[in-house]
Amino acid sequence: MRHFLKYWLPPLLWMIAIFPLTSRFTGSSRFYRICISTLHWIFPKASFETLGILYVILRKSFHFMEYAFLAYLLYRAFRGVSKVQWRVQWMMLSFMISFVFALLDECVQIFIRDRTGSFLDVLVDTAGVLSALRVIFLTHRNPTMPVTEFDRKT
């Protein structure tokens, strides 16, 4: 039970937190107004069009970071207490679960008022997942392991 609480509960709670039914606030007009007001306060001379672009970048950055964090939490859960730092199976499982969850997240949003599903968001989410897993790979792999096919041949 302790293993579950330490390793599996965090990614499950994070998945609940980012699921569209519990995160309707980020898709609301109130969130938009708060963000635009804050951005206008930070950049008082920016045009409304520029603020709109910054808002989109901010929201896509949230997508990227929340799914990067999910991939990290899942990898941590699969690794658990293992002395081994890196396994391709953990990477693949973390990727597959994160990717499927991103697809599910966007599909469910189609049925929520004031939300829309977006394949672009799935791509941004996936970029976050791949980035997190790439960092994990580079920091936890065996240093003698080749990184690319080119490295294997030399």
Least confident of 10-19, 43-52, 137-146: 137-146
pLDDT surpassing 90 at residue 78: yes
Q: Is 117 exposed, middle or buried (0-12, 13-18, 19+ CB in 10 A)?
A: middle
What's the predicted TM-score (pTM) here? Answer: 0.82
pLDDT surpassing 50 at residue 79: yes
Measured CA to CA, the distance from residue 49 to residue 126 in angstroms comes to: 28
Q: Confidence band (pLDDT; 50, 70, 90) for 146?
A: low
